Amino acid sequence: MEENKLQCSSVVDGNFEEVPRETVIQFKPPLYRQRYQFVKNLVEQHEPKKVADLGCGDTSLLRLLKVNPCIELLVGVDINEDKLRWRGDTLAPFMGDFLKPRDLNLTITLYHGSVVERDSRLLGFDLITCIELIEHLDSGDLARFPEVVFGYLSPSMIVISTPNSEFNPLFPSVTLRDSDHKFEWTRMEFQTWALYVANRYDYSVEFTGVGEPPAGAENVGYCTQIGIFRKNGGKAMKSCVSEQHDQHVYKAVFTTSYPSLQQERFFKLVLVNEVSQQVESLRVSHLPRQKKQDGEWGDKPKDSKAPGPCFGPVFTEIEKAKIENSPKPFCVGDKFFVPLQRLLAYPKLNRLCANEEMMRSVIADSIPLSSDGSAVVADLRDYFDEQF
């Protein structure tokens, strides 16, 4: 963090013309990125499957979290429908997501609605985040907020961040950091509220923050204060209301699903491609030995080298031993055979397939197999080999 001559608008939106050029605090990375990174780190640590961001705004946090392999359902809720529609497409899968599918399914949905409304589609979540949200709620909504989020939705974990008003005197001409903020709490005010809510709804809470103060002002605490709430017992509670009837009050404005290895067509494409690449790599590696055995290099200088792969995967010693101890590729006439057990010894293919039978059933109609189905069969030589 450093101090620079900057307009105060870098800290407080909406005050650009009114604030003179003064020394203000600039955070590196920017404060909003520190908040999002805090959540990302928490997700990587606890690996929740179902995550919802209330007050998701421009969906920046959702875009950061969607790459996490543990998440299978990612939901954003916001009161601004136009913003959700405008930013929804940025959450759709790209070409690379189809070329390299995720291990697990992922569905992303954006809902238009208020965070103080009950919608049963948000029940049973592992993590709900409320990043810079509560300070935008009026007194009535703030009173209903715990009833909905902690009482009704009752996820395993809740993360709430809000400005620390004790930090505000370090900013020039700042009372509230945003014109839409209804309040900003001191650390004592936030902790008092959080402890009351946690006790009422059977949660524990710990406090931290992001945005460290400059040297000499450590007593004011973090610029953004954060409460991490964990449900006692660790599991999201099922609401008795949801068992009686579903409540769908939110309006779905965007939804998308990502390709994954759990989907049969993508799993097959990936497995067939991986098997084909590995067989080709083994064939090219085997060809020089076969040519030498057949005497095709008799007239070549001793230092002549056959073409071969210039790079490949790096294996651990354990992986190397597993590969070496598996059945080796072999030739019969002009055909090259790679046992399925050999293919399963390679880490990538072993991760994709549990056993030989599974591999055989998936690739059988796409890749030639031996008569007994125990090996992949390929031509030992192809057109390009003859060019060397």
What does the pLDDT profile of the chain (388 residues) look like in tens digits? 433 333 333 344 433 333 343 456 889 999 999 999 999 999 999 999 999 999 999 999 999 999 999 999 999 999 999 999 999 999 999 999 998 999 999 999 999 999 999 999 999 999 999 999 999 999 999 999 999 999 999 999 999 999 999 998 888 776 777 788 999 999 999 999 999 999 999 999 999 999 999 988 999 999 999 999 999 986 665 544 444 468 899 999 999 999 999 999 999 999 999 999 999 999 998 886 655 555 554 444 444 444 444 445 788 999 999 999 999 999 999 999 999 999 999 999 999 998 999 999 999 999 999 999 999 999 998 755 554 4
Domains, the chain, with CATH or none: 31-258 (3.40.50.150), 264-290+315-379 (1.10.10)
At residue 306, the pLDDT reads: 44
At residue 176, the pLDDT reads: 74
At residue 16, the pLDDT reads: 34
At residue 178, the pLDDT reads: 79
Instruction: Give the β-pairing of 22-26 and 50-54.
Output: unpaired
Give which of 60, 227, 46 is closest to 149, Cα–Cα.
227
Instruction: Give the β-pairing of 251-258 and 106-112.
Output: antiparallel
At residue 233, the pLDDT reads: 84
Q: What is the Cβ-side half-sphere exposure of residue 230, based on CA atoms within 13 angstroms?
A: 10
Contacts of residue 203, defined as CB under 8 A and 6 or more positions apart, other chains included, come to 150, 158, 197, 229, 230, 231, 232
Q: What is the 3-state secondary structure (H, E, C) of the chain?
A: CEEEEECHHHCCCCCCCCCCCEEEEECCCCHHHHHHHHHHHHHHHHCCCEEEEECCCCCHHHHHHCCCCCCCEEEEEECCHHHHHHHHHHHCCCHHHHHCCECCCEEEEEEECCCCCCCHHHCCCCEEEEECCHHHCCHHHHHHHHHHHHHHHCCCEEEEEEEEHHHHHHCCCCCCCCCCCCCCECHHHHHHHHHHHHHHCCEEEEEEEECCCCCCCHHHCCCEEEEEEEECCCCCCCCHHHHHCCCCCCEEEEEEEECECCCHHHHHHHHHHHHHHHHHHHHHHHHHHHHHHCCCCCCCCCCCCCCCCCCCCCCCHHHHHHHHCCCCCEEECCEEEEEHHHHHCCHHHHHHCCCHHHHHHHHCCCCCECCCCCEEEEECCCHHHHHC
Q: Which two tokens stand for residue 387?
A: 């060019």
Rounded-to-integer distance, Cα 321 and Cα 325, Å? 6
Rounded-to-integer distance, Cα 307 and Cα 120, Å? 62
What strands, in cross-sheet order, belong to the sheet with 157-163?
A: 203-210, 224-231, 157-163, 127-131, 50-54, 73-78, 106-112, 251-258
73 close to 51: Cβ distance less than 8 angstroms? yes
Give which of 109, 198, 190, 195 is closest to 151, Cα–Cα.
198
Contacts of residue 82, defined as CB under 8 A and 6 or more positions apart, other chains included, come to none
